[in-house]
Structure 1
Amino acid sequence: MPFPNFKNGVGLVLQLPQPTAIGSVTLNLNSTGTSIQLRSAQSPTPATLDETTELTPPTPMKPGTNTITINNPTPVSNLLVWITTLGSVNGKSVSALSEITLKAAS
């Protein structure tokens, strides 16, 4: 389900202790139909999506464990986990992330 017209998504900013090149992000979620995009931000509190940089295109998720790989990783200080499409659970528009694991690029 797309977000209402006034909202292009919702996200969570992960502030890293030092700039790190992230190779992949593993997420656990409970919904069907959710899409997630990874973005970087110069600040831990970006005011708009324009203040962030795309690291991956929106990626469809499945219930359970999902891994998103970042091609050409560069060091980032703030990682934005951006939900571009909200999934559903039992017919209700909802998505819960229960675990996020970052893996540094090798």
Structure 2
Amino acid sequence: MLLGNKIKSLRDEQGVLQRQVAAYLEIDTPMFSKIERGDRRAKRNQVPKLAEYFHVDEKELLTLWLADRILDAIKGEDELKFKAIEVAKCELSKVDL
């Protein structure tokens, strides 16, 4: 819900209605509302559009989008989630980024 919170914050700061952003994304308002509340995930291709609409850094929003996906993947894995993240971090350090 990190991305949803950020979108809501940006929308509130800029005085934009949900229906305006939904129209820009070419989705209906209820679907956008679900994205903002975290009940539904934005599609990856919608994130750059959101960054453009709100005039913010695309990488920042994509990072929040990806973090939400990671948090979804480890939800309910209380005993193993931190160990899994450490293993993933070690694996990522081996990859030539």
TM-score (norm 2): 0.25
State the TM-score, normalizing by the size of structure 1. 0.24
With a CA cutoff of 8 Å and minimum separation of 6, indicate the structure with the bigger relative contact order.
1
More strand by share: 1
